[in-house]
Structure 1
Amino acid sequence: MLAGLCLFASTLTTLWSGSIVVPIAIAVALVVFGTYLLTLRAGLFTGASRRPRGGIAFFESDIAPVYVTDLGGRVLARNPSAGPAGFIERWLPDAGSVVYRMSREAETNGHASELSSDGRYSVSAWRSGPRALLWRVERTAPVAPPPPDFSHSAAPWFRIDDENHIISCNHAARELSGGEAETLDALLLDPPFQPGAIQVMERSGRAVRSFPLDDAEGLRDVLMIPLESTEVSGLAPDHFLEELPVALARLRGDGVLTFANRAARALLGAAAQPDKNITELIEGLGRSISERLQDTLKGRALGRSEVARGRVAGHEIFLQVAFTRTVHEGAQSILAVMSDATELKTLEAQFVQSQKMQAVGQLAGGVAHDFNNLLTAINGHCDLLLMRHDVADVEHGDLMQIRQNANRAAALVRQLLAFSRKQTLRPTIVNLQDTLSELTHLLNRLLSEKVTLRIDNGPDLLPVRVDERQLEQVIMNLVVNARDAMPRGGEVRITTRNVHLDEDLHRDRAVVFKGEYVVIEVADSGNGIPEDKLHKIFEPFYTTKQVGEGTGLGLSTAYGIIKQTGGFIFVESPPGSGAIFTIYLPAYETSGDAPVLPPPEPEIRQPRDLTGRGLVLLVEDEDPVRSFAARALQLRGYTVIEAASGEEALETLSDDDLHVDIMLSDVIMPGLDGPAWVREARKKRPDVKVIFMSGYAEEAFAGDGGIPDAAFLPKPFTLPELTQKVKDTLEQA
């Protein structure tokens, strides 16, 4: 204090001796002295500044920053804690408005005080004379360690907020990015910004790895270190990829191959060479490979696998291909991961094919059932008309034409039922050698003069249990197809032999269980069947013949008959030779415990007497079929009571005085079906004979609580077949 007073006195003496500048010097000295006194009062310019209440420390030391400014905010003096440059804006984000507002208030009231908008600092201002203000800044929060300063670092540094907006960056960062941008995403070739990942800068094309630092007050510091090409390629060296058991290929952005490892070359074939575009090797099934590559470069659908199709050595293959974006030798590239999906697609196609075959089979069975009802009515009424017209009548020829075409339609329906495995089979124990011997004459008539037939039967053929007529149909279909496959002539060979399987035989999609089988092979010397058509030849309505030369039901009918018999049929066509159809039929076990099968019912050629007596309850929901059946039975001497449903039949049988000799019923009807109402009727009439009529096979309903001693009449039937069946059933009683 004393030194200050002496300094003040010396200053006055010097200035007083000066003439006109004395008043000005005195004023300046008073301002300096007054400021000094106020500073001493506040204890701010000394090394022993007082602590604020609460013991809160200030910055690096205990001295608070103090400024002396003019009324406009220009700094006239500052203490060491204030730093070498800057003013209140160093501490306040909104310094401009604060300084203006506090300056006006301090000038008017002598003092002003405010907190910063973030609440971290308290700023006070006092009026110091007519033209000066004294400012003091105090912290109101505990001191945190200062954040690292990368502003002058050689490493590229960005400070970003939570939305990746760039708050500040250093000179190295500006050189790396090649310009300024608002966000990190805008600087990257492969946005969005991924902390810790390797990414490529948009303008410079440099590959960088980001190192995010700890967050501080909503801001993040990120160092982006450029990578050398050796460092980037070392992440996945080609010599390491070469030996991996996974097919990997590296591509440029335009799809050109730069590298394919051993597994990829084995999968894609010899064409997978550098400078070959991947689009020339494989094609996408849903989207093109080019579109997928563009999506990968843009960061969409990374790593998602999709199926592609290729062709290697003339064979079609399917691949699961996944593209991902990588950096190689400092440039952006694409890594393709591939796996063979041919077997998977084959299984998928087989599953779809089996579902389609099942659906077509169900459709064929339903259509055949309805057609059988129509054909029953057509054939039946045609028979009724033929009874009134002899051969000499003019209409007799027309009626025979109707009947012949109806029979052709019935044969077509039987083929549909055979394919859907819903036809009625009459299996018997047969010897294939005898069957083929009887069939030879007919087969020779089917073949042309240029085609010869050769039959080789193995020794001691085991018997088989099949429907002989249906098996003959299968062999005839195969022989006719073989004939058509040899327009210039050739030879058809039918070979039979016994086969014993010690273990299950897995062939195509079927499993032939071990046991004894009789094998029939039908081979031709034609051009064979193309490989891409082998899996389609058993489909209904599929034919390789010209329009009008085939219905496409021959092989599908053969397939259905063999499968319904319990056998298996396969086809193969070796390159350069004809087709070979192989049929496996289970050998019939002739053990002593085997039941004795009844002999087959003889074919009814010309029944001698079809008249009879008795009351027939006829139940049929189709009016034309019911009308024909009733008239046919009445013409043969039977009394017929008609019912259109099972409910109506039960109502008729409620009369206990009504004596019914036989019940003739359709199987499939609305409401109560045939077996349901017959079971109910037999509770009171257990001895009444029953005949079921159906366009489906007998096995289609026999398993659902079949009726004991019930006879079966398949549709379509003729008038003689109907009356003969009724008479035979009544006579058995």
Structure 2
Amino acid sequence: MPSKKFWKSLRQLPVTLAAIVFSIFLLGVAAAVSLMPEMPGMSVAALVAVLVSLAGLTTGVIVLLTRAKARPRTADPQYEGLLDVFPCPALITDRNGKVLQFAPMITTVLTGVEIGAPVFGFFGEHAPRAHTLLADCLEGRQAQGMCALTSDSYATSLARLGQGRVLWTFCNRTVIEEMPLPESYGEAPRLTLGRNGAILWMNNALRQMLGGTRRHARDAFVDPPVEHGRLITVRTNRAIRQYLAVELSREAGRRDILLVSPPAGTQRVEQPEIERLPVAILTCNADGALLSANRAARRLIYGDEATVRPLPVHLSGLLEGLGRSLTDWLKQVCDGQAPGQPEFMRLLEQDTERYVQVTLTPQLNGQDLPRVMVVLNDATDLKVMEAKFTQTQKMQAIGQLAGGVAHDFNNLLTAISGHCDLLLLRHEPQDPEYADLIQIAQNSNRAAALVSQLLAFSRKQTLNPERLDVGATLSDLTHLLNRLVGEKVNLKLQHKSETGPIRADKRQLEQVLMNLVVNARDAMPEGGEVRITASEQVLDMPIMRDRAQVPAGRYVLISVEDDGTGIPYEHQSKVFEPFFTSKKAGEGTGLGLSTAYGIVKQSGGYIFLSSTPGQGTRFDILLPVYGAEPAPVEIPAPEPVRIRHGDGRVLLVEDEAPVRAFASRALRMRGYEVVEAASAEEALRHFATPDFSVDVVVTDVIMPGMDGPTWVAEAMRTRPDLRVVFVSGYAEETFGDAKKIIANSVFLPKPFSLTDLTATVQEQMGEAVAA
């Protein structure tokens, strides 16, 4: 039996079929007449009938073939289903306006609709308006207008469907409201939108679906705007679903929208379009089973978009580091319980560490079968910068802690060593207690050296930078380094000529090299070789290494390398932290590398570690090449100072009572009159007295309340000739340029000895006498 589509096609070709049937009839008549030899005249008529019928039959066949060729061959069942769900007449054309498919309801608006016929013919005098609507639609503009197709005016709306198809809908407000909707749409969600997406009204069906009213489209829909013919995602109170937006009418900026369930198989974005997108996109089901990966995703995962490799069975085989179950996250997203917040995860099976930002978006088909679109953005650089920032913040915090501890220790050591000096003045070398006091003094000095390393790490020590030749510095240090490494270890020094000068504190640079060489020696208990090389390196562009970015420029590269046991990978990120050591208890303080780190950073350089367990370790130091400067002028060394009794008046401002007690006793022993103050505020109260006068002020820099430079500047408003000695457990650079704007001031670092203090005060008073 012929199908209904066959008979439908026959009804669309009545004239052609009539011609073919008439031709066949004439052939039959001619054949019958040819069987009558007794009627010769009829033979001529039969011949004529045969010729006419053959001509008609040929013409009919040509017409059929021509129409068959011109008839569209892509009547997509997906769009037939789409037309069936519309509650108003609709049809689909190609880009040129030729009808491809139409809904049965179209006959209520248009008559004589045929596949392949131009749609403009049904608009009559409104055909130019229809042309304009189609052009607007194809160019992405709003395509809606009123057209009189029958006795009523219809709101004609156009929407692009992809693959060159255009959806035409014809809605009459009166007809729509009176027309009985299909049973499945009797309670279809419906709303009225105003300008800018404000929701002016919604029916009970939509209100129940959302679990209450909403004021704006963005509060009700996952992906506004709500446009005619567009699939939109609705986050309901139970799940996430997709609906087709059908605009029933538009009047004075108000739009009446009906939400209908899309037919099975209707997809929001077609797979070929996803394949061409420059964003890495995966698709998976609600359980995490991977379904597809587009070109950008393959490029991100495999490094080559042309690589055809099987995807992991599950999303968890591709990503890790979520911190919770990936399956639970997918389920929450599909159920509408998790916000669309992206997460940072790590790609598995990569040659280097790669991070991606993962965003999940649910997609549902007509049967509410969830699929998830997984969008991946390469976040490796972002994570590297984040890790670098975190490490910098961590080292800065440790540095502040170390500097604070060093400051407090310097105060304690000043009191200990100072009072020890006072006791030594009252004992002769032959006294039994003299040796004990010497032990206290020596251990105080050792503690001061330890605190100095803390200040070096925190970059709060006082440096005396100068123009240095690296080759000469290494040559001068060779003898001392050879003594440090011992007989079992061979020290090899290689310095390439033509390296530019650097600007650094020579004593501190030597300390860095000694610390690195000692660590290399300890890593080779059975002996080996330590290699120190120096060369110039030019960076044409910034480089990223160990989460630090080194700017472009000229650098002197100093490398210290050994063949020792290496550093375990889990320890390598901590080696520059103070008090961290991988040595046995009692064999190291954990301050050698942290001191080196602080000195290098304070000198404007970089230090990097490269180590492989069992194969050795290499430290690379990059110091910027320093520009040429005039030859330094030789400054004669100051002559030794002989301490003598003074008769001046000293104001001592120190918040630490033990330090204040020692300093005041030391100055009084030298004959000075001492006025004590425990705070800056107390010192200013002394200066508020008109007849108060002092020759020298000795003040701490860091104190509770007002600091030293601030109160001194306040006092100098009325006493501009004030001479000041600043003392501090921090470095001189701690209070920046404050000392520069205070004339007649010098700096004395803590811990200081009795001799250091009295000599500095004597110099400020001008009482120094050449020995």
Q: What displacement does 1:541 show?
A: 3.6
CA deviations 1:473-514 (Å, max 9, x no partner) are 111111122223334432211122345667767665344463
Partner of 2:335: 298
CA distance in 2, matches of 1:442, 1:682: 49
Partner of 2:4: none
2:400 to 362, 384, 388: 362
SS at match of 1:640: strand
Please report the TM-score for the alignment, with normalisation by the length of structure 2.
Answer: 0.62
Partner of 1:610: 643
Partner of 1:698: 732
Confirm or deny: 8 A CA contact 1:421 1:564 kept in the other structure: yes
CA distance in 2, matches of 1:146, 1:510: 67
Task: Give the alignment of 1:549-588 within 5 angstroms.
Answer: 549-573=587-611, 578-588=616-626
CA distance in 2, matches of 1:183, 1:459: 83
1:673 to 700, 707, 711: 707
2:317 to 261, 268, 280: 280
Going from structure 1 to structure 2, the CA distance change for 1:656 and 1:545 (only over 3 Å counts) comes to same
Partner of 2:422: 384
CA deviations 1:610-662 (Å, max 9, x no partner) are 33323141322222112111222333344433333344445545677776443
2:753 to 718, 725, 730: 718
Going from structure 1 to structure 2, the CA distance change for 1:582 and 1:703 (only over 3 Å counts) comes to same
Task: Give the alignment of 1:434-445 within 5 angstroms.
Answer: 434-445=472-483
Partner of 2:744: 709
CA deviations 1:419-478 (Å, max 9, x no partner) are 221111233444444433343333233325432211123336655443222222111111
Amino acid at match of 1:621: D
Partner of 1:326: 363
Q: What displacement does 1:691 show?
A: 1.8
Going from structure 1 to structure 2, the CA distance change for 1:563 and 1:159 (only over 3 Å counts) comes to closer
Q: What displacement does 1:682 show?
A: 4.6
CA distance in 2, matches of 1:503, 1:193: 48
Partner of 1:490: 528
Partner of 2:14: none
Partner of 1:641: 675
Confirm or deny: 8 A CA contact 2:563 2:617 kept in the other structure: yes
**Residue 631 (str. 1) matches residue 665 (str. 2):** yes
Task: Give the alignment of 1:288-437 within 5 angstroms.
Answer: 288-301=325-338, 303-313=340-350, 315-327=352-364, 331-437=369-475
CA deviations 1:99-137 (Å, max 9, x no partner) are xxxxxxxxxxxxxxxxxxxxxxxxxxxxxxxxxxxxxxx
Going from structure 1 to structure 2, the CA distance change for 1:336 and 1:423 (only over 3 Å counts) comes to same
Partner of 1:133: none
CA deviations 1:394-441 (Å, max 9, x no partner) are 333433333333223222221221122111123344444443334333
Going from structure 1 to structure 2, the CA distance change for 1:709 and 1:436 (only over 3 Å counts) comes to farther
Range with bigger deviation, 349-358 or 609-618 = 609-618
How many matched pairs?
553
CA distance in 1, matches of 2:233, 2:682: 83
CA deviations 1:584-603 (Å, max 9, x no partner) are 334555544x774746779x
Task: Give the alignment of 1:191-202 within 5 angstroms.
Answer: 197=231
Going from structure 1 to structure 2, the CA distance change for 1:274 and 1:456 (only over 3 Å counts) comes to closer
Amino acid at match of 1:158: G
CA distance in 1, matches of 2:258, 2:606: 74
- Larger radius of gyration between Structure 1 and Structure 2: 1
Amino acid at match of 1:708: A
CA distance in 2, matches of 1:535, 1:561: 18
CA deviations 1:497-537 (Å, max 9, x no partner) are 3456677676653444635x543222223354566765543
Partner of 2:12: none
Task: Give the alignment of 1:43-442 within 5 angstroms.
Answer: 150=180, 156-160=184-188, 197=231, 214=248, 224=261, 226-227=263-264, 229=265, 232=266, 236-269=269-302, 273-274=310-311, 276-301=313-338, 303-313=340-350, 315-327=352-364, 331-442=369-480
Amino acid at match of 2:293: A
CA distance in 1, matches of 2:492, 2:761: 45
Confirm or deny: 8 A CA contact 1:256 1:274 kept in the other structure: no
CA deviations 1:315-373 (Å, max 9, x no partner) are 44322111222246964322211122122122112212222222222232222222211
CA distance in 2, matches of 1:310, 1:600: 63
Q: What displacement does 1:375 show?
A: 0.9
CA RMSD of aligned residues (A): 4.3
SS at match of 1:394: coil
SS at match of 2:447: helix
Q: What displacement does 1:381 show?
A: 0.7
Same amino acid, percent of matched pairs: 49
Task: Give the alignment of 1:439-458 within 5 angstroms.
Answer: 439-458=477-496
Partner of 1:40: none
Confirm or deny: 8 A CA contact 2:262 2:366 kept in the other structure: no
Confirm or deny: 8 A CA contact 1:157 1:221 kept in the other structure: no
Going from structure 1 to structure 2, the CA distance change for 1:318 and 1:430 (only over 3 Å counts) comes to closer
CA distance in 2, matches of 1:429, 1:616: 41
Tell me, which stretches of 5 or more residues in structure 1 are unaligned?
1-142, 168-181, 187-191, 201-206
Partner of 1:509: 548
CA distance in 1, matches of 2:175, 2:472: 106
SS at match of 1:579: strand
SS at match of 2:354: strand
CA distance in 2, matches of 1:635, 1:538: 45
Confirm or deny: 8 A CA contact 1:376 1:715 kept in the other structure: yes
CA distance in 1, matches of 2:678, 2:643: 26
Q: What displacement does 1:692 show?
A: 1.5
CA distance in 1, matches of 2:424, 2:743: 36
Confirm or deny: 8 A CA contact 1:259 1:273 kept in the other structure: no
Going from structure 1 to structure 2, the CA distance change for 1:608 and 1:693 (only over 3 Å counts) comes to closer
Q: What displacement does 1:715 show?
A: 0.3
Confirm or deny: 8 A CA contact 1:524 1:579 kept in the other structure: yes
Partner of 1:72: none
Going from structure 1 to structure 2, the CA distance change for 1:622 and 1:407 (only over 3 Å counts) comes to same
Q: What displacement does 1:376 show?
A: 0.3
SS at match of 1:539: coil
Amino acid at match of 1:509: A
Going from structure 1 to structure 2, the CA distance change for 1:688 and 1:275 (only over 3 Å counts) comes to closer
Going from structure 1 to structure 2, the CA distance change for 1:268 and 1:504 (only over 3 Å counts) comes to closer
CA distance in 1, matches of 2:208, 2:726: 84
Going from structure 1 to structure 2, the CA distance change for 1:277 and 1:638 (only over 3 Å counts) comes to same
SS at match of 1:312: coil
Going from structure 1 to structure 2, the CA distance change for 1:314 and 1:533 (only over 3 Å counts) comes to farther
Partner of 2:557: 519
CA deviations 1:124-170 (Å, max 9, x no partner) are xxxxxxxxxxxxxxxxxxx976855557x6x8543457787689xxx
